[in-house]
Structure 1
């Protein structure tokens, strides 16, 4: 094709003896090529991004990408993996690590929640059996689970639920140990017979290429914003030099709407006097289904 273009320019020059007309022949042809090549390049870019599991809504966004000065990332499942892991287990009151994991896993296996699922996976990973040993379960939305083990009241869930609502005492020494981990991980509290037995330190690992992407964008002078539903400053494995503006997202149980507030450390504590929403156990664990 290129050979014919130059041949046409040569014929034009031979007939007209005009360099300008010969160059115009090439210019007209190249402009046509550019008109065809531009959408092809955009479509190729969108296809390649699709291969990387990145969805682009249209070619206009590819062309305007260079003008974007702010990038907003969801944390869980975007910057981090979708499967949280138990990074550590703090034990108190003379309970062993194995006991805490066994009791917690036998409660959490009834409900699918990423945090609870991480506890069950940890029990399986450490080959800790967690057969049925509890009474009737009560699930309290956004708080946790309460039941009985050997006739003793057992609860697992958020700090607000276990420490404040259930009134489980916590010593200054325990508070100091927990506070150190609270800066790095999501914490899941577990108590039995009104005694704090353990705290699970849970986090979602960063995706392997997340740091490279963030560093590249920062080097280009882009502003980075992270959306998250947690109030702790940074995840446990967060690079210390990442200057991310954090936007904490909270949802209302009544309206199911979302509001966001850009903050340094997240929203103030407490749950605004929300009424507990209780739900009886649907008995969906492998034991209740009779398949394990």
Structure 2
């Protein structure tokens, strides 16, 4: 039985610890059966009954606001300086400055000095203490608990000034972390704002402007020049250039006319269009992209799983070290209690795992958001990381490395039949076939306006070709293997076939069961950009590029050589492609498969990373692949690998830096140089540097190598 499920967007979700606590509080609501919080997307899914008031009450400790998922405006956005926490932090800073002035003039022991620092601590740390003391009673040791202990400890040993500085720096650290996460989340918010929320619709001969939620399938949408398209649909009248950069990442506008597909969020540049709506607002391509990007951010990447496991043991270990630092020297070496308790408190502060915990998610969120804006849909942090480790990339040939639209290059007579007759008979038979090669022959015959013949008794011969009766004669058309054992093919003809295949062409024979009448050579045109993309991939450090094709060996090798590929595997059936991926994985480890997401689904699923092309037009590509290149070309593939490698590098830098700074600060205990304010400054500095380092991924450009 399906439970009541509601999805909400959140505002004010500041840190991973707060997110975990918020989720736990919601679970404690009796009517809630299950809850899933997505920190990266700032979104929560609640199974069971819970009002917005109940959810906001569960997040009141952090001032979290809750809004229905489909609500466009999440209330008035507060600026950095309007937030209550930031205002109290600034007031606290004012009293700290006044307190230090009094300490210079009246001394640190003066009641006025202590009182001023006390006011700074209460104003700046009220919310901190409220949560920290509550956690302490429940023995929940998060960052706020550690800070509360540190500040109270500082007050007990008379370090009022230090306690006040710790409160202010902690508030500043929280504010900067919240601001940075908001910046990272803006990559999703910008996607949500792409499509208009109202559309001009003609329904029952009446024109109206309505909310996109009220638009029905088969409504006619009217789009003027310069307007954004509000819904996915099919052009029924008009022609125009459409800028599809928001969906596919392509900067060159696509020409659209009657029968062409258009996407919500794209820009109509010049003509007036009438578009028949084909999808509901929640099913549009941009809606699917947003949904998949948000789901991707909820998925924990391997690095994040490691950091989360590490932090679980790290925090208790830091508390134990702090206790030992505070207790052992006074008990066993006769040192002063005040000095070593102070050092123990400093260890607590510097040991906060904040920078460590945020080091991975902020990098993943930023990278996935950047990629989505460039027309690359990465469906999880795990796929982002695995793409960064790729050694081998396998490509399907047709429609991936080539245009996928074969053209007839030669029609060669081998009998009394004329050029026109060969094409006419071939067209008559192939009219029954759906094969791309059949389409090429029909196009060629149509272009040359060849007289049409009628074919009867059509029969497909699996994997080889077809036969049919034309003008009372049974004709066969297909690969050379179809005619083996049926008719004798001359040595000269065999040589001709071999030469055409070496040039990268597929050769079809047409004839009767007694004689080969002619040859038709067809070539799938290599995409102009494919050779340069293969070169870029090799420069990026991809060890091996492999083409998997059903073409014959000679054709496959000719195209592979033209493209500069490391290896070509030809004459493969779909199951052979699957086996090829398995053997490549066994030999090299991380292998990507690039295909169109339809015929290549098994191979895409078996590869370490399945990359589908042309995701904008195919639901299958969006569903089966780990990564979808929304445009129907490979231009974004080097960018995707480059971005993935940068993300891996930045995550490693973040984790290494956060840990190194902690260790360095802890070593300062030995000479007694670690002060409370220096400890929190180190923690805040580590968090800030980790976040700013991750935000560099927002500016990773297309074409970076």
Q: What TM-score do you get using the length of structure 1 for normalisation?
A: 0.71
Listed as ranges, the matches of 1:1-292 within 5 Å are 8=90, 11=94, 14=97, 27-36=173-182, 37=184, 38=362, 40-49=365-374, 52=375, 54-132=376-454, 134-162=455-483, 164-165=484-485, 167-183=486-502, 184-192=504-512, 194-222=514-542, 223-233=544-554, 234=556, 240=562, 242-248=564-570, 249-251=572-574, 259-260=579-580
Distance in structure 2 (CA, Å) of the matches to 1:257 and 1:226:
10
Is the Cα contact below 8 Å between 2:560 and 2:568 reproduced in 1?
no
Q: Specify the structure having the higher radius of gyration (Cα).
A: 2
Tell me: higher relative CO, structure 1 or 2? Use CA pairs within 8 A at least 6 residues apart.
1
Q: Which runs of 5+ in 2 are unaligned?
A: 1-78, 101-160, 185-361, 585-705
Is the Cα contact below 8 Å between 2:468 and 2:476 reproduced in 1?
yes
Once the 2 structures are TM-superposed, how far is the Cα of residue 203 of structure 1 from its aligned partner?
A: 2.1
Is the Cα contact below 8 Å between 2:80 and 2:179 reproduced in 1?
no
Distance in structure 2 (CA, Å) of the matches to 1:177 and 1:100:
17
RMSD (CA atoms): 3.6
Is the Cα contact below 8 Å between 1:157 and 1:190 reproduced in 2?
yes
Once the 2 structures are TM-superposed, how far is the Cα of residue 182 of structure 1 from its aligned partner?
A: 1.2
Distance in structure 1 (CA, Å) of the matches to 2:391 and 2:180:
28
Distance in structure 1 (CA, Å) of the matches to 2:431 and 2:566:
35
Is the Cα contact below 8 Å between 2:545 and 2:567 reproduced in 1?
yes
Distance in structure 2 (CA, Å) of the matches to 1:12 and 1:217:
58
Distance in structure 1 (CA, Å) of the matches to 2:471 and 2:563:
48
Q: What TM-score do you get using the length of structure 2 for normalisation?
A: 0.32
Is the Cα contact below 8 Å between 2:557 and 2:568 reproduced in 1?
no
Is the Cα contact below 8 Å between 1:226 and 1:247 reproduced in 2?
yes
Instruction: Spell out, residue by residue over 1:199-234, the C-alpha distance to the aligned partner (whole angstroms, 9 max, x if none).
Output: 221122223433332221111121212221123243
Distance in structure 1 (CA, Å) of the matches to 2:531 and 2:439:
26
Instruction: Spell out, residue by residue over 1:119-169, the C-alpha distance to the aligned partner (whole angstroms, 9 max, x if none).
Output: 11111122112231x44222222222223334433111111112x14x222
Distance in structure 2 (CA, Å) of the matches to 1:114 and 1:193:
25
Mark the CA change 1:88 to 1:30 in structure 2 (over 3 Å): closer, same or farther: farther
Please identify which structure carries the higher helix content.
Answer: 2
Aligned length: 254
Distance in structure 2 (CA, Å) of the matches to 1:11 and 1:95:
98
Once the 2 structures are TM-superposed, how far is the Cα of residue 179 of structure 1 from its aligned partner?
A: 0.9
